[in-house]
Structure 1
Amino acid sequence: MNTIDSIIKNVMSSMQDCLDDEQLQKLENTLYIQFHGLKLQEECTQLVTSESHWEKILRLFVASKRLENCSEGTISRYTDCVTKLIQYLHKRFQDITTNDIRYYLAMYQEQRKISVSYLDTIRRYLSSFFGWLSDEGFISKNPMRRLKHMKVPQKIKKPFTSAEMEHLRCNATCQRDIAIMEFLYSTAGRIGEVVALNRKDIDWGNKEVIIYGEKGKKERKVYLTDECAYHLRKYLMMRNDTNPALFVSNKKPHTRLGKQAIQSMLRNLGEKTDIHAHPHKFRRTLLTDAGSRGIPLQEIQAYAGHKKPDTTMMYVTVSEENVKASFRRYIA
């Protein structure tokens, strides 16, 4: 069992690089004052219920999320998040306290060096799970209720510039890769939505395609630019396989291209051109271009398949040039 002295010693050791001598002395005094008169007792962390019991409850939660139409990717992240918490704490759901979760999140961030944004995502997953446990009567008190949203530094994620887009096209190693980039940009499709498409889904007469939303699971119509239609048609005419998939591997047996394959292709192309390239950046670029060219936010929201306009605003980067032009036009 740790003594109070050893705990204070460990705290002081951990903080000595962060505080000066005067602050360290004040911290030590405060700790001794707060611990005075208290008796430490080591907490029992043996699982009282069997592992199968908590897994059964987790499966019920997953079933409820499927009924809410959550994507399999989201459900997988919920499962992983809750499983890691239980395996770390080794406690029953009803015995987990707010301080337990605070401790877990702090240790998780320290050990994995994750961002505040990612940590808050974990908090949201756990909050949803424990809220469900409370609503279903599995626990009497929700330990997540006092853990509020973390303040995440807002960083503007930049879209591609026109020059960067052209540079990527010029350095692509095959027609398929050009078609993929043009399609990601033109449709603003999520990578999971794009890899699920088949050749027959393209309406060449109207230069449009119906995308089945990866999030929210709703259909939406998106369109092909002239450049996208040209490069996509050229790619499809070069193919001699019978796979119905819109995008396939270059080598036999020409299997449907997956998320990781496209991510890897863009990562390699980005390293080659010294441009940070990933699938979602094409979506951001299209939405930003649409906003800067005067398309109403509500229409951009519908095209992107967002439920809330706030989500769309996170993607639509307002360029300094447009702000300056508007200021000169309306104010100056």
Structure 2
Amino acid sequence: MAKYCDVVDSIDTYGCIEDLGTVVGGATPSKKRKEYFADSGISWITPKDLSNATNLFIGHGATDITDAGYQSCSTKLMPAGSVLFSSRAPVGYVAIAAKEVCTNQGFKSVVPFNNIGTSFVFCFLKDNAKEIEKAGSGTTFIEVSSRTMRHFVAPIPSVECAQSFSSYAEPLLNAIKNNENEIAALVQLRDALLPKLMSGEIDLSKVELPMPSARTAPTNGRLPVNNFLFCGLHYTYTGIHELSERLHMVESSTIESILQAMQSVLDARQLKQLKSVLSSQLAMEALPDDAGEAKELLDSFLAAKELEGCSERTLQYYESTLAYYISKTDMPLTKVDTEQLRSYLTNYQATHTVGKVTIDNIRRILATFFSWLEDEDYIVKSPARKIRRVKTPVRVKETISDEDMERLRDGCETLRDLAIIDLLSSTGMRVGELVKLNRENIDLGERECIVQGKGNKERKAYFDARTKLHLEEYLRTRIDDDSALFVGLSGKHQRITISTVESRLRSLGRKLRLPRIHPHKFRRTMATNAIDRGMPVEQVQKLLGHVKIDTTMQYAMVSQSNVKASHRRYLG
């Protein structure tokens, strides 16, 4: 079959992605440990590296991690030919590992089985990225869990069918890879030659210009490459060839400015040669000048927010939202007006299947960014000031009833999960605060703990006697010496992650047929119960770690049964 679409149409056997290859998640070393990161070491890829790349193959990210960093986060090395798939912030970037790499926690990648091949897995993930994203979950931003990724429905080609497709696709992938390597080499050549050219170190009169060699795409004897199409993809050989040719050229206005600057030191013949060299040999990346400036402003904004104490997840949400906005607008950030922002938000909602809550989150992030640009004197006035908050439907959010809470406790198969449920329900702490807890933060005698909240602010949280007993039972079963309060149940027994807690609770809820069990629901339940039983809202605010009491009131919903009883008492 010549086309991926034709191959898929011919398959009548379906399974899951885990039948195409091994699904591997990533992990991130602690960014507070400088010895975990270095300029050279183990190649470490993040979704940002894929969002900034124009290549299909990737072998290096913006930074590397050391062997100590690799060991600390228990990530796995992905062999060359693995298909990297970003599963959060945002979902859907796809690339092929050009060499052995490892990925951060924003990936659920696939190591293809030998009888399937890289090309088929790549085309399938690229073609179904949007559908995989829809299968994800999350309130702040969508994330695709390992379980969701493994069990996503996929066509399973026969060995003959997979080999037939690979015989067409692999030569194209190899041609693309060779083109990308050549482009990288030309960029290095440009960076090395341009300073020498401008300083006069290279004598232009002695430069012999080679004639560009004609290229022919591999056809494998049967298929003209220009007609080959990965269904739903833009990576045709022709497209990559055009990219290579484009990177051989410098924008004409840039060439003219260089020639004008050199007129005083070069004669007409040398200027003509210089123009020819710049046009044919120096592979300038075709990015507008304001794109580089926008990236610098975004990096400065993220650095400022990190300094202010924003969490890593918040920074990732800022970065993915703003990077996408910058990529979709041709207008320099300093010239953006209110109408442009309104148009962007309107078009985003029309072209993406998102609700008004998501649109308002994007509006809020853009407003924060442009307010920062105003504060830093990059712009006179933020264009987002006139864009009002998007009105969102107010729905009564569910809490966990006492009966369902007992069912969750009874359904726990491990003491660790039981202690997690008790701690979440009695303290109302965030899941991110729970996974950061160390043993030393717990005072079992006083039934209290020190949690590190947003902005690295510490506060005390209190738990009940049942939580104390279950924590003691869990800690007595621990045979490791890790300082973390909650660790994995197998392997190296390292600190658990937020996604682990979310996955365990979702699985437990599905097993017990309870609706939408997630960590944040315990926090909402605790706040609601506290107010229903007469605790002053100011004290609930203190327990939850909120700066503004308005935030607390959004969590704490007075029970409808209490409203009914009060109505009958006072009005009925």
Give the distance between the partners of 2:497 and 2:469, measured in 1 at CA: 23
1:252 lines up with 2:252 in the alignment: no
Letter in 1 for 2:496: L
Equivalent positions of 1:232-271 (< 5 A) are 232-271=471-510
Match of 1:180 in 2: 420
Distance 1:248 1:66 in 2: 27
166-175 or 61-70, which deviates more: 61-70
How far the C-alpha of 1:217 sits from its partner, in A, is 2.6
Structure with max Cα Rg:
2
Partners of 1:134 and 1:141 within 8 A in 2:
yes
2:269 corresponds in structure 1 to none
Once residues 113 and 84 of structure 1 are traced to their aligned partners in structure 2, the CA distance between those partners, rounded to angstroms, is 16
Q: Which has the higher contact order (CA 8 A, sep 6+)?
A: 1
User: Match for 1:155 among 395, 399, 410?
Assistant: 395
State the 1:311 CA deviation. 0.6
Contact 1:195–1:257, Cα closer than 8 Å, also in 2: yes
The aligned runs of 1:1-332 (5 Å cut-off) are 48-213=288-453, 215-275=454-514, 276-332=516-572
Deviation at 1:100, TM superposition (A): 2.4
Q: In 1, Cα distance between the equivalents of 2:498 and 2:376?
A: 36
Q: CA RMSD in A?
A: 1.7
Shift of 1:143: 2.2
Deviations 1:3-27 (A, max 9, x none): xxxxxxxxxxxxxxxxxxxxxxxxx
- After TM superposition, the score normalised by the length of structure 2 is 0.48
Distance 1:135 1:226 in 2: 49
**Where does the alignment leave 5 or more consecutive residues of structure 1 unmatched?**
1-45
TM-superposition CA deviations, 1:172-228 (whole Å, max 9, x none): 221111111111111111011110011121101101101111x24321111111111
- Mean Cα displacement is larger for which, 105-114 or 152-161? 105-114
The question of whether the paired residues in 2 share the 8 Å contact of 1:98 and 1:146 is answered with yes
Q: CA deviation at 1:141?
A: 4.4
Task: State how far apart, in whole Å, the 1-side matches of 2:308 and 2:483 are.
Answer: 30
| Alpha-carbon separation, structure 1, partners of 2:394 and 2:387 | 20
In 1, Cα distance between equivalents of 2:480 and 2:431: 23
| TM-score of the superposed pair, with normalisation by structure 1 | 0.82
How many percent of aligned residue pairs carry the same amino acid? Answer: 41
Letter of the 2:311 partner, please give it: S
How far apart are residue 114 of structure 1 and its match? 1.0
Q: CA deviation at 1:124?
A: 0.4
**Offset of residue 326 of structure 1:** 2.2
Partners of 1:299 and 1:83 in 2: CA distance = 39
Deviation at 1:274, TM superposition (A): 1.6
Which structure features the higher share of strand residues? Answer: 2
Q: CA deviation at 1:147?
A: 1.2
Structure 2 residue runs of 5 or longer lacking an equivalent are 1-285
- Distance in 1 (CA, whole Å) between partners of 2:538 and 2:385 is 34
SS in 2 for 1:295: coil
Aligned letter for 2:490?
A: K
Judge conservation of contact 2:308–2:455 (CA < 8 Å) in 1.
no
Q: Deviating runs (4+, > 4 A) in structure 1?
A: none
Which structure is higher in helix share? 1
